[in-house]
Chains A and B, each alone.
Chain A
Amino acid sequence: MSKKQIRVQIFADGQIKADVIGVKGKACMDYIDILEQLLDAETVDSEYTAEYYETELVDLRQQQKNMNNNY
Protein backbone atom coordinates (compact mmCIF):
# COMPACT_ATOMS: atom_id res chain seq x y z
CA MET A 1 0.00 0.00 0.00
CA SER A 2 1.45 3.36 -1.01
CA LYS A 3 2.05 6.09 1.55
CA LYS A 4 -0.49 8.88 1.81
CA GLN A 5 1.33 12.14 1.56
CA ILE A 6 1.02 15.79 0.64
CA ARG A 7 3.90 17.41 -1.19
CA VAL A 8 3.84 21.19 -0.90
CA GLN A 9 6.17 23.43 -2.87
CA ILE A 10 6.23 27.09 -1.78
CA PHE A 11 7.82 29.29 -4.42
CA ALA A 12 9.77 32.47 -3.77
CA ASP A 13 7.11 34.44 -5.64
CA GLY A 14 4.49 33.30 -3.14
CA GLN A 15 2.74 30.76 -5.34
CA ILE A 16 2.17 27.26 -4.04
CA LYS A 17 1.90 23.88 -5.72
CA ALA A 18 0.46 20.99 -3.75
CA ASP A 19 0.15 17.33 -4.73
CA VAL A 20 -1.92 14.80 -2.87
CA ILE A 21 -0.22 11.45 -3.20
CA GLY A 22 -1.60 7.97 -2.64
CA VAL A 23 -5.16 8.98 -1.78
CA LYS A 24 -7.61 7.02 -3.91
CA GLY A 25 -10.50 8.43 -5.93
CA LYS A 26 -12.73 11.20 -4.68
CA ALA A 27 -11.26 11.06 -1.18
CA CYS A 28 -8.41 13.22 -2.43
CA MET A 29 -10.92 16.07 -2.88
CA ASP A 30 -11.22 16.35 0.91
CA TYR A 31 -7.64 17.52 0.98
CA ILE A 32 -8.36 20.61 -1.12
CA ASP A 33 -10.14 22.26 1.82
CA ILE A 34 -7.54 20.99 4.26
CA LEU A 35 -4.70 22.42 2.17
CA GLU A 36 -6.45 25.77 1.81
CA GLN A 37 -6.81 25.89 5.60
CA LEU A 38 -3.24 24.78 6.26
CA LEU A 39 -1.80 27.33 3.86
CA ASP A 40 -4.31 30.21 4.17
CA ALA A 41 -4.57 30.03 0.42
CA GLU A 42 -7.09 29.76 -2.37
CA THR A 43 -7.03 27.15 -5.10
CA VAL A 44 -6.74 28.73 -8.53
CA ASP A 45 -6.22 25.58 -10.56
CA SER A 46 -6.55 21.84 -10.05
CA GLU A 47 -5.77 18.84 -12.11
CA TYR A 48 -6.69 15.23 -11.54
CA THR A 49 -3.95 12.82 -12.33
CA ALA A 50 -3.95 9.32 -13.81
CA GLU A 51 -4.30 7.75 -10.37
CA TYR A 52 -7.58 9.58 -9.76
CA TYR A 53 -9.14 8.40 -13.03
CA GLU A 54 -7.86 4.83 -12.62
CA THR A 55 -9.58 4.63 -9.30
CA GLU A 56 -12.76 6.13 -10.75
CA LEU A 57 -12.75 3.41 -13.41
CA VAL A 58 -12.64 0.75 -10.71
CA ASP A 59 -15.50 2.50 -8.91
CA LEU A 60 -17.63 2.57 -12.06
CA ARG A 61 -17.02 -1.12 -12.66
CA GLN A 62 -17.99 -1.81 -9.05
CA GLN A 63 -21.17 0.29 -9.45
CA GLN A 64 -22.08 -1.60 -12.64
CA LYS A 65 -21.51 -4.91 -10.88
CA ASN A 66 -23.71 -3.83 -7.96
CA MET A 67 -26.47 -2.73 -10.34
CA ASN A 68 -26.35 -6.08 -12.16
CA ASN A 69 -26.62 -7.92 -8.85
CA ASN A 70 -29.69 -5.91 -7.91
CA TYR A 71 -31.56 -6.93 -11.07
Chain B
Amino acid sequence: MSVSLALVPIALAMRLVMGKKNFDNWVQSMQFSIPSLFEKESELARTVRKAGYDCEKWGSSYKTHIDGEDLFFFWEFLNGKWVAVFGKYDSRQHIERFIANVNRAAGKQMFDVSTLQQNELKTGSAALPATNTTAAMLPQAFPTNFRDGELLFKTLKEFGINPVRNGSVITCKIENSHLTFRQSGDHPFQVEIHNEPDLRKIFQYLSDIDDDYKRCLQEVVYKKLKARAEERNMTIESEEVMEDNSIVLTLNIGS
Protein backbone atom coordinates (compact mmCIF):
# COMPACT_ATOMS: atom_id res chain seq x y z
CA MET B 1 0.00 0.00 0.00
CA SER B 2 1.40 3.42 -0.83
CA VAL B 3 -1.21 5.89 0.26
CA SER B 4 -4.17 5.59 2.57
CA LEU B 5 -7.01 8.13 2.37
CA ALA B 6 -9.92 9.11 4.55
CA LEU B 7 -12.72 10.61 2.47
CA VAL B 8 -16.10 12.11 3.17
CA PRO B 9 -18.77 12.09 0.45
CA ILE B 10 -19.70 15.55 -0.78
CA ALA B 11 -23.28 14.77 0.25
CA LEU B 12 -22.22 14.60 3.87
CA ALA B 13 -20.83 17.13 6.33
CA MET B 14 -19.20 15.14 9.12
CA ARG B 15 -19.59 17.87 11.70
CA LEU B 16 -22.04 16.57 14.18
CA VAL B 17 -22.08 13.50 16.24
CA MET B 18 -25.76 12.76 16.51
CA GLY B 19 -27.14 9.90 18.56
CA LYS B 20 -29.17 9.58 21.70
CA LYS B 21 -26.35 10.48 24.07
CA ASN B 22 -25.41 13.71 22.34
CA PHE B 23 -28.46 15.85 22.93
CA ASP B 24 -26.66 18.42 25.07
CA ASN B 25 -23.88 18.84 22.53
CA TRP B 26 -26.42 19.26 19.78
CA VAL B 27 -28.39 21.92 21.65
CA GLN B 28 -25.14 23.74 22.24
CA SER B 29 -24.39 23.63 18.55
CA MET B 30 -27.21 26.07 17.81
CA GLN B 31 -25.57 28.52 15.49
CA PHE B 32 -25.19 32.18 14.82
CA SER B 33 -23.42 33.66 11.85
CA ILE B 34 -21.16 36.67 11.64
CA PRO B 35 -20.76 37.76 8.03
CA SER B 36 -17.35 39.09 7.08
CA LEU B 37 -16.21 41.25 4.20
CA PHE B 38 -13.88 38.53 2.91
CA GLU B 39 -14.75 37.57 -0.63
CA LYS B 40 -11.72 35.55 -1.72
CA GLU B 41 -10.55 32.33 -0.11
CA SER B 42 -6.92 33.36 -0.38
CA GLU B 43 -7.54 36.69 1.36
CA LEU B 44 -9.51 34.98 4.14
CA ALA B 45 -6.86 32.32 4.79
CA ARG B 46 -3.96 34.79 4.63
CA THR B 47 -5.53 37.29 7.02
CA VAL B 48 -6.76 34.72 9.52
CA ARG B 49 -3.30 33.12 9.62
CA LYS B 50 -1.67 36.52 9.94
CA ALA B 51 -3.92 37.12 12.95
CA GLY B 52 -2.39 34.02 14.54
CA TYR B 53 -5.07 31.41 13.85
CA ASP B 54 -5.32 28.40 11.61
CA CYS B 55 -7.54 28.31 8.54
CA GLU B 56 -7.80 24.76 7.36
CA LYS B 57 -9.71 23.74 4.23
CA TRP B 58 -12.59 21.53 5.30
CA GLY B 59 -14.63 20.38 2.31
CA SER B 60 -16.18 23.51 0.86
CA SER B 61 -15.69 25.37 4.15
CA TYR B 62 -12.74 26.46 6.29
CA LYS B 63 -12.17 25.55 9.91
CA THR B 64 -10.53 27.86 12.43
CA HIS B 65 -9.61 27.12 16.04
CA ILE B 66 -9.95 30.04 18.42
CA ASP B 67 -9.02 28.35 21.68
CA GLY B 68 -6.53 25.53 21.21
CA GLU B 69 -8.15 22.30 20.08
CA ASP B 70 -11.25 22.91 22.17
CA LEU B 71 -13.04 25.70 20.39
CA PHE B 72 -13.36 26.02 16.65
CA PHE B 73 -15.83 27.26 14.10
CA PHE B 74 -16.45 26.99 10.36
CA TRP B 75 -16.30 29.61 7.65
CA GLU B 76 -19.00 29.22 5.03
CA PHE B 77 -19.35 31.03 1.74
CA LEU B 78 -22.77 32.62 1.55
CA ASN B 79 -23.97 35.21 -0.94
CA GLY B 80 -20.47 36.03 -2.13
CA LYS B 81 -18.96 36.57 1.32
CA TRP B 82 -17.28 34.35 3.91
CA VAL B 83 -19.40 33.97 7.02
CA ALA B 84 -18.07 32.84 10.40
CA VAL B 85 -20.56 30.37 11.87
CA PHE B 86 -20.18 30.05 15.63
CA GLY B 87 -22.04 27.95 18.16
CA LYS B 88 -24.49 29.96 20.21
CA TYR B 89 -22.78 28.83 23.40
CA ASP B 90 -19.21 29.39 22.22
CA SER B 91 -17.14 31.68 24.44
CA ARG B 92 -18.04 35.29 23.63
CA GLN B 93 -14.68 36.38 24.97
CA HIS B 94 -12.78 34.19 22.51
CA ILE B 95 -15.01 35.21 19.61
CA GLU B 96 -14.51 38.90 20.36
CA ARG B 97 -10.76 38.48 20.72
CA PHE B 98 -10.67 36.57 17.44
CA ILE B 99 -12.62 39.28 15.60
CA ALA B 100 -10.42 42.02 17.04
CA ASN B 101 -7.26 40.15 16.00
CA VAL B 102 -8.55 39.58 12.47
CA ASN B 103 -9.51 43.25 12.13
CA ARG B 104 -6.03 44.21 13.32
CA ALA B 105 -4.37 41.81 10.86
CA ALA B 106 -6.51 43.14 8.01
CA GLY B 107 -5.92 46.74 9.00
CA LYS B 108 -9.64 47.45 8.78
CA GLN B 109 -13.02 46.31 10.04
CA MET B 110 -13.80 42.99 8.39
CA PHE B 111 -17.16 42.41 10.04
CA ASP B 112 -20.35 44.29 9.30
CA VAL B 113 -21.30 46.44 12.30
CA SER B 114 -24.76 47.38 11.06
CA THR B 115 -25.90 43.76 10.96
CA LEU B 116 -24.75 43.31 14.55
CA GLN B 117 -26.77 46.25 15.75
CA GLN B 118 -29.88 44.94 14.03
CA ASN B 119 -29.36 41.58 15.63
CA GLU B 120 -28.80 42.96 19.04
CA LEU B 121 -32.20 44.55 18.79
CA LYS B 122 -33.64 41.21 17.78
CA THR B 123 -31.81 39.01 20.20
CA GLY B 124 -31.16 41.16 23.22
CA SER B 125 -28.31 40.31 25.55
CA ALA B 126 -27.43 37.02 23.85
CA ALA B 127 -25.67 38.86 21.04
CA LEU B 128 -22.09 40.02 21.15
CA PRO B 129 -21.45 43.47 22.62
CA ALA B 130 -21.54 46.30 20.10
CA THR B 131 -17.82 46.55 19.61
CA ASN B 132 -16.76 45.85 16.10
CA THR B 133 -18.66 42.70 15.42
CA THR B 134 -21.82 41.50 13.82
CA ALA B 135 -24.14 38.64 14.53
CA ALA B 136 -27.00 37.36 12.48
CA MET B 137 -28.67 35.17 15.04
CA LEU B 138 -30.57 32.26 13.63
CA PRO B 139 -33.03 31.41 16.38
CA GLN B 140 -33.74 27.71 16.79
CA ALA B 141 -31.64 26.85 13.76
CA PHE B 142 -29.46 23.80 14.21
CA PRO B 143 -26.73 22.46 12.01
CA THR B 144 -27.10 19.10 10.27
CA ASN B 145 -24.82 16.76 8.36
CA PHE B 146 -27.04 16.82 5.26
CA ARG B 147 -25.77 18.38 2.06
CA ASP B 148 -27.70 16.55 -0.64
CA GLY B 149 -31.31 17.76 -0.93
CA GLU B 150 -32.42 14.82 -3.10
CA LEU B 151 -31.04 12.32 -0.66
CA LEU B 152 -32.49 14.16 2.33
CA PHE B 153 -35.91 14.27 0.68
CA LYS B 154 -35.73 10.54 -0.10
CA THR B 155 -34.59 9.74 3.44
CA LEU B 156 -37.41 11.76 5.00
CA LYS B 157 -39.92 10.07 2.72
CA GLU B 158 -38.64 6.60 3.58
CA PHE B 159 -38.66 7.60 7.24
CA GLY B 160 -42.44 7.83 6.95
CA ILE B 161 -42.97 11.55 7.25
CA ASN B 162 -44.27 13.51 4.29
CA PRO B 163 -41.73 16.10 3.29
CA VAL B 164 -42.69 18.96 1.02
CA ARG B 165 -40.08 20.52 -1.21
CA ASN B 166 -40.03 24.10 -2.36
CA GLY B 167 -36.78 24.92 -4.15
CA SER B 168 -33.97 24.20 -1.74
CA VAL B 169 -36.31 24.29 1.26
CA ILE B 170 -37.76 21.07 2.63
CA THR B 171 -40.46 21.15 5.27
CA CYS B 172 -42.04 18.36 7.24
CA LYS B 173 -43.95 17.75 10.43
CA ILE B 174 -42.87 15.50 13.25
CA GLU B 175 -45.57 15.07 15.86
CA ASN B 176 -46.59 18.69 16.56
CA SER B 177 -43.36 20.36 15.45
CA HIS B 178 -42.66 21.83 12.05
CA LEU B 179 -39.18 21.31 10.66
CA THR B 180 -37.75 23.48 7.92
CA PHE B 181 -34.51 22.37 6.28
CA ARG B 182 -32.73 25.22 4.50
CA GLN B 183 -29.58 25.18 2.40
CA SER B 184 -27.43 27.97 1.02
CA GLY B 185 -25.47 26.95 -2.05
CA ASP B 186 -23.88 23.57 -1.48
CA HIS B 187 -23.45 24.12 2.24
CA PRO B 188 -24.99 21.78 4.77
CA PHE B 189 -28.68 22.17 5.55
CA GLN B 190 -29.72 23.87 8.73
CA VAL B 191 -32.92 22.79 10.40
CA GLU B 192 -35.29 25.28 11.97
CA ILE B 193 -37.63 23.83 14.52
CA HIS B 194 -40.92 25.57 15.12
CA ASN B 195 -43.21 24.71 17.99
CA GLU B 196 -41.04 22.26 19.86
CA PRO B 197 -42.74 21.18 23.08
CA ASP B 198 -40.03 18.56 23.57
CA LEU B 199 -36.75 19.37 21.86
CA ARG B 200 -35.16 16.16 23.13
CA LYS B 201 -37.76 14.10 21.31
CA ILE B 202 -37.20 16.04 18.07
CA PHE B 203 -33.48 15.49 18.46
CA GLN B 204 -34.04 11.74 18.71
CA TYR B 205 -36.04 11.82 15.49
CA LEU B 206 -33.31 13.85 13.82
CA SER B 207 -30.69 11.40 15.05
CA ASP B 208 -32.63 8.55 13.46
CA ILE B 209 -32.97 10.56 10.23
CA ASP B 210 -29.21 11.21 10.36
CA ASP B 211 -28.55 7.45 10.65
CA ASP B 212 -30.93 6.69 7.78
CA TYR B 213 -29.42 9.42 5.60
CA LYS B 214 -25.97 7.92 6.10
CA ARG B 215 -27.22 4.42 5.32
CA CYS B 216 -28.85 5.69 2.12
CA LEU B 217 -25.63 7.48 1.28
CA GLN B 218 -23.59 4.31 1.79
CA GLU B 219 -25.79 2.57 -0.79
CA VAL B 220 -25.54 5.51 -3.21
CA VAL B 221 -21.73 5.62 -2.92
CA TYR B 222 -21.47 1.84 -3.36
CA LYS B 223 -23.63 1.82 -6.52
CA LYS B 224 -21.87 4.86 -7.94
CA LEU B 225 -18.43 3.35 -7.34
CA LYS B 226 -19.37 0.09 -9.07
CA ALA B 227 -20.84 1.87 -12.08
CA ARG B 228 -17.96 4.33 -12.44
CA ALA B 229 -15.28 1.67 -11.94
CA GLU B 230 -16.81 -0.27 -14.80
CA GLU B 231 -16.79 2.83 -17.02
CA ARG B 232 -13.06 3.18 -16.32
CA ASN B 233 -12.40 -0.49 -17.10
CA MET B 234 -11.52 -1.29 -13.52
CA THR B 235 -12.50 -4.81 -12.56
CA ILE B 236 -13.83 -5.85 -9.19
CA GLU B 237 -11.51 -8.34 -7.52
CA SER B 238 -13.68 -8.83 -4.46
CA GLU B 239 -16.63 -7.43 -2.58
CA GLU B 240 -17.47 -8.06 1.04
CA VAL B 241 -19.85 -6.82 3.74
CA MET B 242 -18.04 -6.63 7.05
CA GLU B 243 -19.37 -7.22 10.56
CA ASP B 244 -19.69 -3.46 11.15
CA ASN B 245 -21.88 -3.25 8.01
CA SER B 246 -19.19 -1.50 6.04
CA ILE B 247 -18.76 -2.59 2.42
CA VAL B 248 -15.29 -3.37 1.12
CA LEU B 249 -14.61 -3.34 -2.61
CA THR B 250 -11.23 -4.21 -4.05
CA LEU B 251 -10.70 -2.94 -7.58
CA ASN B 252 -7.97 -3.93 -10.02
CA ILE B 253 -6.58 -0.80 -11.62
CA GLY B 254 -4.44 -2.48 -14.28
CA SER B 255 -1.01 -1.31 -15.25
Contacting residue for A40 out of B2, B3, B9, CB 8 A = B9
Determine if A15 and B7 form an interchain contact, defined as CB atoms under 8 angstroms apart. yes
**Residues of B within 8 A of A (CB-CB), count:** 42
By size class, the interface of chain A is: 35 or more
Contacting residue for B224 out of A12, A34, A40, A45, CB 8 A = A40
Known: A4-B255, A9-B246, A14-B9. A39 touches B224 (CB 8 A): yes
Q: Which residue of A lies closest to B11 (CB)?
A: A40
Chain B CB within 10 Å — which of A5, A13, A17, A18 has the most?
A13
Determine if B1 and A18 form an interchain contact, defined as CB atoms under 8 angstroms apart. no
Binding site secondary structure of chain A: mixed
Q: Which residue of A lies closest to B231 (CB)?
A: A38
Determine if B9 and A17 form an interchain contact, defined as CB atoms under 8 angstroms apart. no
Apart from the given pairs A5-B251, A15-B6, A52-B2, 19 other A-B contacts in the complex at a CB distance below 8 Å: A4-B252, A8-B248, A8-B251, A10-B246, A10-B249, A11-B246, A12-B245, A14-B11, A14-B214, A15-B14, A18-B7, A19-B5, A20-B5, A31-B3, A39-B221, A40-B224, A48-B4, A49-B3, A51-B2
Tell me the B residues contacting A by CB distance below 8 Å: 1-12, 14, 58-59, 213-215, 217-218, 221-222, 224-225, 228-229, 232, 234, 237, 242, 244-255
